[in-house]
Structure 1
Amino acid sequence: MNTAPTIHGENVLLRQPIESDLRDYMNVEEDNELKKMYGIEAVDITPKTFERAKRFIEAIANNQWEWCVVYQNRFVGQARLTVNQTDNRARYAVGLFDPSVWNKGLGTEVTNLVLEFAFKTLNLHRVDLRVLEYNVRAIRCYEKCGFIKEGIEREGALINGKYETDLFMSILDREYEEK
C-alpha cells in the first residue's frame, strides 16, 4: 500500500504521524465548537485519553491517503482522501482540532495542497465532501478552493436532539484546472 507523501505548503506541512504527535494532541483541550462542527453528540463525548489519542493517530497512519497537519512544528489536525479508484474520485475530509490555529487560512491552504495532490498526482476526476450546513467557516473555505455546492441531505443527522442538514460539495478536474 502506498502512503501519503509529505507535502510542504507555505505555512503547513502534511506528513505521516511521528511520536511527538501524541503529545501535541493531548496538549489541546477538547473544544465544544469543534465537536459541534464534527457533528458529535454531547452524550457521545468521551474524555480525551492516551489510548484514544493513540488510536486517532494510528488511524491516520493506517489510512493510505491521510496526513497529519503540522503548523509551527505542532500537530494541529488531519486531512484525508478516501479514494474510489473504480470511479476515479475521492471523498475529502479535513479537521483542525486545535482552536488556536483557526481563522488563519490553514484549512484553505491544506485543502488546496490536497486538491493539487488529488488532481495532479492521483489524476482523479472528482473530489467531493459533505459538511454540516451550519459549518459556515468550512463552507467558505471549500468555496474559496473551488468546491461547488451540488446538493443537500435535509435533516439527515440527529445531533444533540436536533435534525441537521448536510451540504454536498464537489470539484471536478476541469474546474480545478480553470482555477
Structure 2
Amino acid sequence: MWVRDNTCGLGPYRADLVETYWRWEQDPALLVGYGRQQPESLEARTEGIAAQLRGDNIRFTVYDLAGGAPVPVGVVTLLPDPSVRTAEYVIMLAPESRGKGLGTAATRLVLDYGFHITNLRMIWLKVLAPNVAAVRAYEKAGFRAVGSLRQAGYWLGRVCDELIMDAIADEFPGPSAITSLLP
C-alpha cells in the first residue's frame, strides 16, 4: 500500500487485475455515470492496459481496508499536465463498494498524493450534473464546483450538463496521510 488512511488504501495499478477492472467498467451504473454508451470487450481492455501501465498518467488500485486483508475495489487516475502542474481526476469503484465512503476516502488520498508528492497546484474533474452522489463525495473530499459545460453529457438517455469541479493545493483541508508520515 503506498498511501492509506483507516479505511482505504492506494496501491499499484496491476495488469493481473485487468479482468476485475474490466468487470467494474462494464457495470451499467458506471456506464451511465461516465455518460458512455457502449461497453468494451475484455480483449480490447487487455490490450489497453499495457499502454496504460507504460503511460505518464498516475494510476492506483483502490483497496478497502475495513476487513483486515486489503480488497481491490476500484481505480483512481490522475491525468497530469506537467507544463501547468495540474491534473484531471477520474475514479471508478466496483458496484458492490459504492455508498460506503470509499470514493470520498480514495479521492482525499489522491488529492493528498497529488498535492504533497506530485506537487500539483490544482486537480480538476468533470461529473455529470445528475450524479448527485458523486458530486457530494467530491465535495466532501475537497473539490468545489467551478462551472459547467452545458448539455455536454447524457444521463439515462437525456442530455445533461457536466459540472467542472476543482481542488487547489492551498485549500486542501487535510489531515494529510502523506505529511503525517514525515519526521
Runs (5+) with no aligned partner, structure 2: 176-183
CA distance in 1, matches of 2:48, 2:70: 19
CA distance in 2, matches of 1:163, 1:92: 23
CA distance in 2, matches of 1:55, 1:10: 35
2:82 matched to 1:81?
no
Which stretch of structure 1 is more off in the superposition, 143-152 or 52-61?
52-61
2:136 matched to 1:140?
yes
AA paired with 2:123? V
CA distance in 1, matches of 2:161, 2:87: 21
Partner of residue 15, structure 1: 11
Within a 5 Å distance, the mapping from 1:3-152 to structure 2 comes to: 6-18=2-14, 20-25=16-21, 30-41=26-37, 44-46=38-40, 48-49=41-42, 51-55=43-47, 57-64=49-56, 65-71=58-64, 73-96=70-93, 98-152=94-148
How much has 1:125 moved relative to structure 2?
1.4
AA paired with 2:163? L
Within a 5 Å distance, the mapping from 1:150-169 to structure 2 comes to: 150-158=146-154, 161-169=157-165
Helix, strand or coil at the partner of 1:87:
coil
Using structure 1 for the length normalisation, give the TM-score: 0.81
How much has 1:69 moved relative to structure 2?
1.6
CA distance in 2, matches of 1:121, 1:107: 20
CA distance in 2, matches of 1:58, 1:158: 30
CA distance in 1, matches of 2:160, 2:74: 24
CA distance in 2, matches of 1:28, 1:153: 27
CA distance in 2, matches of 1:143, 1:6: 24
Kept in 1, the 8 Å contact 2:61–2:72? The answer is yes
Identical amino acids, percent of aligned pairs: 28
Partner of residue 181, structure 2: none
How much has 1:100 moved relative to structure 2?
0.6
Question: Deviations for 1:77-125, whole angstroms, at most 9, x for unmatched residues?
Answer: 21111111221211111111x2111111111111111111111112221
AA paired with 2:82? Q
AA paired with 1:92? Y
The count of corresponding residues between Structure 1 and Structure 2 is: 170
Kept in 2, the 8 Å contact 1:119–1:173? The answer is yes
